[in-house]
């Protein structure tokens, strides 16, 4: 029996404290804790790391506080276009979906695709149809749209019309989870709406296996958040695993190297959660904040948005 452990993120970014009142930040932390409990319940019951990351991500997809599922960022046409992926570190099986517009929980769709075993990636309306034919809940696209994201899109368009562009670090969000189960297996899952005002048809790093989502037993599981184009170019998840496998680096060193050195020259917002085979969870980020949380083998649960880390009842 291996130790069990779980880590999550709900996206990195500028996250100005004045954007929400203290009750708003506290509500986001409550949902982080709910996501952790969902995944932890699976692991404690002897469930797989894959099921744990799926359960944790689903809670964050359903929460309006994060840029995934309900509350996802809207693209230039005002549409939610969702990306998600899941990967099993034991088998390297993976499922990924992009530009989904009607599937309530894109991570469940990614899981169903992985379990079906034929394709690794589906995109657009065909991916939504796969969800329907596999009995997963589908919703009207309006279900994903919140007032907060409508306002964010309007602000972004107004700024663009005025000739100002958002910095990379202002646009972020995504949710993700990594886990180690009692059988010693690792898994990762990620789900996102991308970024506000993104081009129609744009696909980010989250559903790209090896970039925003990666898991490999014997190395690590990782889920990223930040400017996806750079995560794709640096194949971030796979790079962390490779540094661990080929250079013998520990997960903290390998993950920090990517976030604080390799991605630094681009001045982009970047963060991630990663876990190794011993259950060590790391959450490096280079922005003002990152929604995040983790539970270690002793069952102690931590959640945070900015620097301060809160220990809460598991």
Active site residues: 174
Of the candidates 96, 94, 118, 196, the residue with the CA atom closest to the CA atom of residue 152:
196
Site string for ligand ASP, 174-193 (x = CB under 6 A): x-----------------x-
Query: What is the C-alpha separation between 221 and 238, in angstroms, rounded?
Result: 9
Question: Quick one: CA torsion of 109, 99, 27, 290, rounded to 10 degrees?
Answer: 110
Cα separations in angstroms, 174 against 57, 150, 204: 10, 17, 10
Through-space distance between the first and last CA atoms of the chain, rounded to whole angstroms: 21
Tokens of 167: 């910095």
Angle between helices 49-62 and 22-44 (to 10 degrees): 160
- Tell whether residue 98 is a contact of ligand ASP (CB under 6 A): no
Task: Figure out which of the listed residues 104, 108, 172, 238 binds ligand ASP, where binding follows CB under 6 A.
Answer: 172
User: Closest CB to ligand ASP among 48 and 98?
Assistant: 98
User: Closest CB to ligand ASP among 138 and 227?
Assistant: 227
- Stretch near ligand ASP under the rule CB under 6 A, chosen from 50-58, 158-166, 201-209, 289-297: 201-209
Q: How far is the CB of 199 from ligand ASP (least distance, A)?
A: 12
Contacts of 144 (CB under 8 A, 6+ apart): 69, 70, 71, 72, 80, 82, 193
User: Closest CB to ligand ASP among 80 and 173?
Assistant: 173
Task: Figure out which of the listed residues 31, 128, 205, 276 binds ligand ASP, where binding follows CB under 6 A.
Answer: 205
- Stretch near ligand ASP under the rule CB under 6 A, chosen from 204-212, 253-261, 274-282, 294-302: 204-212
- Tell whether residue 204 is a contact of ligand ASP (CB under 6 A): yes
- Tell whether residue 11 is a contact of ligand ASP (CB under 6 A): yes
Find the binding residues for ligand ASP in span 206-265 (CB under 6 A). 206, 212, 225-226, 228
CA 276, 281, 287: angle at the middle one, nearest 5?
125
User: Closest CB to ligand ASP among 71 and 173?
Assistant: 173
Residues of the shown chain interacting with ligand ASP in the complex, contacts defined by CB under 6 A: 11, 172-174, 192, 194-195, 204-206, 212, 225-226, 228
């Amino acid at each position: 029996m291996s130790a069990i452990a779980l880590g999550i993120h709900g996206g990195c970014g500028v996250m100005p404290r004045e954007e929400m009142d203290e009750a708003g930040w506290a509500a986001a932390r409550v949902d982080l804790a709910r996501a952790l409990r969902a995944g932890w319940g699976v692991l404690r019951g002897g469930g797989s790391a894959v099921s744990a990351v799926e359960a944790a991500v689903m809670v964050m997809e359903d929460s309006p506080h994060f840029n995934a599922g309900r509350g996802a960022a809207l693209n230039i046409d005002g549409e939610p276009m969702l990306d998600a992926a899941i990967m099993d570190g034991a088998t390297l099986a993976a499922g990924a979906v992009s530009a989904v517009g009607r599937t309530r929980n894109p991570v469940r769709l990614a899981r169903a695709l992985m379990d079906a075993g034929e394709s690794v990636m589906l995109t657009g309306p065909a991916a939504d149809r796969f969800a329907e034919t596999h009995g997963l809940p589908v919703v009207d696209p309006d279900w994903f749209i919140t007032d907060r994201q409508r306002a964010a899109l309007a602000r972004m368009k107004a700024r663009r019309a005025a000739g100002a562009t958002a910095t990379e670090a202002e646009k972020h969000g995504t949710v993700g989870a990594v886990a180690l189960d009692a059988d010693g297996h690792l898994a990762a899952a990620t789900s996102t709406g991308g970024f506000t005002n993104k081009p129609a048809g744009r696909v980010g790093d989250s559903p790209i296996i090896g970039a925003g989502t990666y898991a490999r037993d014997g190395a690590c599981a990782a889920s990223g958040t930040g400017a996806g184009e750079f995560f794709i170019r640096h194949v971030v998840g796979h790079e962390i695993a490779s540094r661990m496998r080929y250079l013998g680096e520990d997960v903290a060193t390998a993950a920090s190297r990517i976030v604080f050195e390799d991605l630094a020259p681009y001045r982009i917002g970047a963060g991630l959660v990663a876990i190794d085979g011993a259950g060590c969870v790391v959450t490096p980020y280079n922005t003002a904040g990152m929604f995040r949380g983790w539970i270690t083998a002793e069952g102690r649960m931590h959640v945070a948005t900015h620097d301060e880390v809160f220990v809460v009842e598991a």
